[in-house]
Amino acid sequence: MAIFARNSSCVQIEKSLTTQAARIVQALGINRAMYEGENVDLCQRMYWVVYILEKTQSFICDRDSVLVDSNIGTQVPLIPEAIFGKFDYFRALCRFSRLLSKAQVALFTISATLVPPNIMVITIDDFKLDLERWKDSISEHFRPGSSFVQLGGVGGLLIELKLRLCHYYYSAFIALSRLKLSILTEESSQDRLETEQGLLHASCAVIDLTRYIDVDASTPIWVLLSVPLSATFILFDFVIQNPSHAQTKRNIALLGVASGYFCRLELSSNGCLQLSLLSDLAQIARDYTQDVEARITVAPVEVSNPSFAERHPLPCEEETRAQPRLPEFAEESYLSVQDSPQAHDATNENFYIPNEDTSTFSIGGRFPEGLDLTNFFAADFSDYFDPFVTNIFSEG
Per-residue pLDDT reduced to its tens digit, 93-124: 999 999 999 999 999 989 998 999 999 999 99
Instruction: Give pLDDT, residue 303.
Output: 45
Cα angle 175, 177, 179 (rounded to 5 degrees) comes to: 70
Integer CA distances (angstroms), 210 to 61, 254, 256, 259, 366, in order: 21, 11, 12, 11, 35
Instruction: Give pLDDT, residue 270.
Output: 80
Asked whether the beta carbons of 386 and 268 are under 8 A apart, the reply is yes
Q: What is the pLDDT of residues 190-236, one digit of tens each?
A: 889 999 999 999 999 999 999 999 888 788 888 988 899 999 999 99
Domain boundaries, given as residue ranges, for the chain = 1-76, 78-183
Instruction: Give pLDDT, residue 21.
Output: 86
Integer CA distances (angstroms), 256 to 123, 132, 285, in order: 36, 30, 10
> In terms of C-beta density within 10 A (0-12 exposed, 13-18 middle, 19 or more buried), how is residue 180 classed?
buried
Instruction: Give pLDDT, residue 306.
Output: 52
Q: What is the pLDDT along the chain (396 residues), one digit of tens a residue?
A: 777 666 666 666 777 888 888 898 888 888 876 666 667 888 888 899 999 999 998 898 888 888 988 888 888 989 999 999 889 999 999 999 999 999 999 999 899 989 999 999 999 999 999 999 999 999 988 999 988 877 765 558 888 899 999 999 999 999 999 999 999 877 778 889 999 999 999 999 999 999 999 888 788 888 988 899 999 999 999 999 988 888 889 999 999 999 999 988 888 878 777 787 888 888 899 999 888 888 877 655 454 455 544 544 544 544 444 444 444 544 454 444 444 444 444 444 555 554 444 433 333 333 344 555 555 554 444 444 554 444 544 454
Instruction: Give pLDDT, residue 345.
Output: 44
What three-state secondary structure class fits 129? helix
C-alpha to C-alpha distance for 266 and 229, rounded to whole angstroms: 14
